[in-house]
Amino acid sequence: MSDADGLSRVDLIAIIVELRRVNVLLAERVEVLEAEVERLRAGLPGGGSKVAPNWVKPNRKESREQERSARKKRTQSFVRRREIPTEVHEHALEQCPKCGRNLCGGWVHRTRQYVEIPETPVRIVEHRMIRRKCGVCGRQCMPKVDLSTEVLGKARVGVRLMSFIAYLHTVCRVPLRTIKGQLKLMYGLDLGLGELCRILHSVSEAAKPEYAVLLEEIRGSPVVNADETGWREDGINGYIWSFSTPRVRYFVYRQSRSGQVAKEVLSEEFEGVVVSDFYCGYSVLLTRHQRCWVHFYRDLKKLVEAYPSDPSVGRWVDKVMSIYKQAKDFSSDEERSRVRQREIFEHALLEVARPYFKSDKPQRILAERIEKFLPELFVFVEDPRVPSENNAAERAVRPCVIARKVSGGTRSAKGSVTKTVLMSLFGTWLVRGQDTMQMCRQMLISDNRRAYQATHKTILSHAA
């Protein structure tokens, strides 16, 4: 027995009327859709009209032709230009290949140029001091040779080679065994691993005065970006601390991650702004702080990913980031206006976080972080020199992370000091856009000259 058997005649008539009404509506809808299809077909390439709808991607050929017609001619072509040749080899026939007549003169019809590295053996420079005897008074005379611009102290290698080894190990992050192999392959120079280590220690020792200057520049800077990353010394875990400015990179190794390290480096007299993540170790510095919004955004993003089914979490994160974006877009030349606007942003962010204090909601932890670090979140609004993120410190410690993955760390305390000193010097030269090898060579020469002059004065004072 079907369901329709129990219906009355009136019910069946009502069903038929309703079906007729639905059929009429569907027929009208089909007509509208067919007209829309015809219109779209006419707009597509190959149809009746040549004008495509906005959502249709144009053919690449037409796009390139329009780009060529609208493109302005360049004032300078950026093609690879020919180098100034250091060697020229001319090729010409002396006799005609057909009749055998001698040929002379001619013109350059075609040139072929390529770049090649020379086969350069290592230079072994020997200075011989000749002792001579005066035939009148009988005094033996010998010249005083100043090699301070060529070699460091009594080292066996010159300053250029020392700078090259320090550059390969620090900037290029090449392991010592690979440096040893490259020197043997390219220059025929056989240096032991121990000698390579001594060369790096010598460069680091010569760089100590420059290293101290960098520390003073860090302490005198109005804004310092700080961060730390893991490092291993002789298999024991420690940390490399990074302190950066737009012109300086300064690194120091300590086994502790305590905030006393930051206080030791920056000193208690530091009056600038410290930009860092939310690690509490930097809170011991009694100065102004700017906490990194990029780190905070990562935590906000993790919160949304952890609760995808809770739309209130996403809305709350959007409110927080909306306030931050408004703060980033704000700019003013008046200090009072910047201070007032900072207070406005702090109040707005606190009102967004307040409903979740001491609650069981997912937003509670980050809301309480906002309450704790609220005075340190919008310092960049008040002081335009302060960045809202700690990207400078992140970029500064990145080479340390790569070096740790390549080498695994250092083997002694002296090696850690050498590593941090060289990373500080070479990192500073790189960020300043200077030639690192040339700067290292000049530093070695300057330090060697100071040592030579001090020794020479001592000898003269004893002789007097």
For residue 377, the enclosing domain spans 293-382
Domains: count for the chain: 3
Residues of the chain with pLDDT under 50: 46-48, 459-460, 462-464
185 and 324 fall within a common domain: no
Do residues 390 and 358 make contact, with C-beta atoms less than 8 angstroms apart? no
pTM of this structure: 0.75
328 and 355 fall within a common domain: yes
Residue type, 376: E
CA 103 to chain centre: 61
194 and 176 fall within a common domain: yes
DSSP 127-140: -----EE-TTT--E
Residue 346 belongs to some domain of the structure: yes
Residue 331's contacts (CB-CB under 8 Å, 6 or more residues apart) are 384
Residue type, 255: Q
**Per-residue pLDDT, 449:** 78
Residue 67 belongs to some domain of the structure: no
Residue 277 belongs to some domain of the structure: yes
Q: Which H/E stretch holds residue 242?
A: strand 236-244
Residue 281 belongs to some domain of the structure: yes
**Per-residue pLDDT, 83:** 86
Comparing CA positions, the residue from 427, 425, 364, 361 lying closest to residue 392 is 427
Residue 106's contacts (CB-CB under 8 Å, 6 or more residues apart) are 92
Give dist(CA 162, CA 182) in Å, integer.
14
DSSP 274-314: EEE-S-GGGGGS-SEEEE-HHHHHHHHHHHHHH-TT-HHHH
Residue 237's contacts (CB-CB under 8 Å, 6 or more residues apart) are 230, 231, 255
Do residues 252 and 236 make contact, with C-beta atoms less than 8 angstroms apart? no
Residue 424 belongs to some domain of the structure: yes
Residue 309 belongs to some domain of the structure: yes
Residue 151 DSSP one-character state: B
**Per-residue pLDDT, 447:** 79
422 and 454 fall within a common domain: no
**Per-residue pLDDT, 37:** 86
- Torsion angles phi and psi, residue 241, rounded to 5: -95, 135
Residue 214 belongs to some domain of the structure: yes
319 and 172 fall within a common domain: no
**Per-residue pLDDT, 118:** 84
Q: Encoding tokens for residue 242? A: 């990074």
Residue 388's contacts (CB-CB under 8 Å, 6 or more residues apart) are 290, 292, 293, 324, 327, 328, 380
280 and 420 fall within a common domain: yes
What does each C-alpha distance from 283 to 146, 171, 243, 262, 287 come to in angstroms? 52, 32, 15, 10, 9
Comparing CA positions, the residue from 177, 240, 269, 220 lying closest to residue 396 is 240
172 and 317 fall within a common domain: no
330 and 350 fall within a common domain: yes
341 and 378 fall within a common domain: yes
**Per-residue pLDDT, 459:** 46
Do residues 153 and 448 make contact, with C-beta atoms less than 8 angstroms apart? yes
Between the two ends of the chain, the Cα-to-Cα distance in Å is 134
**Per-residue pLDDT, 68:** 61
Q: Is 212 helix (H, G, I), strand (E, B) or coil?
A: helix
CA angle 269, 272, 275 (to 5 degrees): 125
186 and 211 fall within a common domain: no
Residue 85 DSSP one-character state: P
304 and 377 fall within a common domain: yes
**Per-residue pLDDT, 215:** 95
| Residues recorded for the chain | 464
Do residues 417 and 364 make contact, with C-beta atoms less than 8 angstroms apart? no
Residue 172 belongs to some domain of the structure: yes
Give dist(CA 388, CA 313) in Å, integer.
24
227 and 299 fall within a common domain: no
